[in-house]
Structure 1
Amino acid sequence: MTVRNLHIIKASGEKDVFSVEKVKASLRKSGADEEVISDILSNLEDELYDGISTKEIYNRAFNLLKKRNRSFASRYKLKNAIYELGPTGFPFEKFIASILKHSGFKVEVGKIVQGICVTHELDVIARKDKEKNLFECKFHTEPGKACDVKIPLYIHSRFRDIQNFLDKNHPGTPAFKGWLVTNTRFTEDARKYGKCVGLNLLSWDFPKGNALKDRIDHTGLYPITVSTLLSAREKQFLLSRDVVLCKELIDDKFYLDHLGISEGRKSRILKEMEMLCKVS
């Protein structure tokens, strides 16, 4: 059996045919050149077997890439790095807020807003000029768990309650834009519902070309959890102090001193962060 006829098990539990092109594409996005990609695939293909999971393929490709270039490996692990923001979901909200802040928005996190029926705690409010955006974040800790239609139905009802309050008590107030953001994927029905009611959806791979993964790659606003040099304990320490982005650690490098990190290791960590923040 050739690798092109291998069946793999996706995170959702579904079977699929192994795609060399998908692995190549993900390695290219990390910044790896064709020579490195060819070398990794050559090593990887010797280790594949029918029924291997996508997680195992990722782990093997990641380890091979890390031996060649740590900054490329960091970009390659972006999806898993976002899962590392868990398990509560609050660091994910702070991550979304940090991306918006560094994109020119004034942001508020966890603010209570009045609706016509009840009050609502909103994950993120983002303002720029006269534009106002309300964001609700749905964080999943399990790869393969999609955001189904029940979530946008619920979020849209909350936004309608807030808008009804504004229409009744502050007539003439410009309408806000409502957003639902998830770190996984939306089902087809969830996407259809969002489009139908005007609820903006943002997920790992949607909308195509401007999805969460695309926005991070284009802006260089990577979470600190992509680092291959920081330990899990060090990442949690930084997250607890609202240092969510690699860019923020570069600006607030004194946190590394609080962790007792040696000058040599500190220099390597900051170099890794600077490489990640470069936008091609």
Structure 2
Amino acid sequence: MQNTELDIIKSSGEKVKFSFSKLRNSLLKSGADKKTMKYVLDEMRNELYQGISTREIYNRAFALLKQVKSVYASKYKLKNAIYELGPTGFPFEKYVGRILTSQGYEVSFNQTVLGKCVKHEIDVIAIKNNTRNLIECKFHSEEGRNCDVKVPLYIHARFNDIKNQKKTSYHESGWVVTNTRFTEDAVQYARCVGLKLISWNYPEDNSLKHLIDKSQLYPLTVSTLLSNKEKEFLLKREIVLGSDLLKNEYLLDHLGISDSRKSRILSEFKILCTITKVDGN
């Protein structure tokens, strides 16, 4: 069957045409070399069928990459690794803050800001070049839950109340950051009122994925070697990035992890950034 004839089902239930070129690009961005990419594509070519879900395609590609080299699988699972930062959403806020800190922003979390009418708790405040960016983080722990127009409507009303208070020397800007997607209406409204939106794939040149690749700050949850319970233990101790773990590797001893496994886990994160720098992705 030609891939142009193959319908696949997205997590939202939408039916779309399968694209080998998109799969090829995602494999290349994992750091996989051309030999590995060809191996995965050849294997999957014989396993695809009409109506296969994007989840099944992802799981199979992930398993094949892991067979070759775990660090390829780690980078390939980046989007899913963000979902694993839940369920409270606070690790996601910390993660967004760390990315912005790497870009030169002065960042603070969960600050109460006085509005003209009421007080507001802001997830992340990022200051740079005399602009105070008030950021609301909308985290979803599963695919298919997109942010509709009600989200920017609500957030814009809150930010307007803060701006109308007029007791700051900063120029102020409102942002909404999500790990999923915004609907077309949400994007249209935000453009109209001047609200900045950042989602997994929007805007194209400044999306969450683009910012992660640019900063090379990968979440702890990309690890293919840590168990879910081990990740949860570390996240509760505010170990959000792989680099955090490299600086606090003693926490792996607290988990009773053997020296040989500990070495593999730390090596996984060290290699991840090395591959990123080499392949330019």
Same fold (TM over 0.5): yes
Q: Does 1:183 align with 2:179?
A: yes
Partners of 1:243 and 1:77 lie apart in 2 by: 19
CA distance in 1: counterparts of 2:186 and 2:173, whole angstroms:
17
Write out per-residue CA displacement over residues 142-165 of structure 1, whole angstroms, 9 at most, x where no aligned residue: 312221111011001101111111
Match of 2:36 in 1: 36
Query: Gapped runs of 5+ residues in structure 2?
Result: none
- Whether 1:70 and 2:46 are equivalent positions in the alignment is no
- Give the CA deviation at 1:174: 2.5
Q: 2:219 aligns with which of 216, 220, 223?
A: 223
SS at 1:176 equivalent: strand
**Residues 254, 127 of structure 1: alpha-carbon distance in 2 compared, 3 angstrom cutoff:** farther
Alignment partner for residue 245 of structure 1, among 226, 235, 241? 241
The answer on whether the counterparts of 1:98 and 1:244 sit within 8 Å (CA) in structure 2 is no
For the 8 Å contact 1:247–1:277, the answer to whether it is kept is no
> Which runs of 5 or more structure 1 residues have no equivalent in the other structure?
none
| Displacement of 1:176 | 1.5
Higher mean displacement: 99-108 or 215-224: 99-108
C-alpha displacement of 1:53: 0.2
The whole-number CA distance in structure 2 between the counterparts of 1:4 and 1:14 is: 16
Aligned partners of 1:246 and 1:277 also within 8 Å: no
Q: Distance in 2 between matches of 1:117 and 1:129?
A: 28
Mean Cα displacement is larger for which, 68-77 or 104-113?
A: 104-113
After TM superposition, the score normalised by the length of structure 1 is 0.94
CA apart distance, 1:183: 0.4
* C-alpha distance in 2 between matches for 1:255 and 1:94: 19
TM-score where L is the length of structure 2: 0.94
What is the number of residues matched between the two proteins? Answer: 276
Counterparts of residues 48-197 of structure 1 (less than 5 Å): 48-165=48-165, 167=166, 169-170=167-168, 173-197=169-193
**Alpha-carbon separation, structure 1, partners of 2:266 and 2:131:** 35
1:38 is displaced (CA, Å) by: 1.1
Secondary structure of 2:174's counterpart equals strand
Distance 1:241 1:74 in 2: 22
After superposition, the C-alpha distances for 1:69-122 in whole angstroms (9 at most, x for unaligned) are 111111100010001111222221111122223333222111111111111111
Preserved contact between residue 44 and residue 61 of structure 1 (Cα < 8 Å): yes
Hey, what's the Cα distance between the residues in 2 that align with 1:102 and 1:3?
40
Which residue identity lines up with residue 132 of structure 1 in the other structure? R
Decide which moves more: 262-271 or 93-102. 93-102
| Pairing 1:12–2:4 present | no
- AA at the equivalent of 2:102: H
Q: Matched residue of 1:24: which SS? A: helix
* 1:259 aligned to which of 233, 255, 271: 255
How far residue 129 of structure 1 moved from its aligned partner, in angstroms, is 4.9
Q: Distance in 1 between matches of 2:22 and 2:177?
A: 24
CA shift at 1:47, angstroms? Answer: 1.2
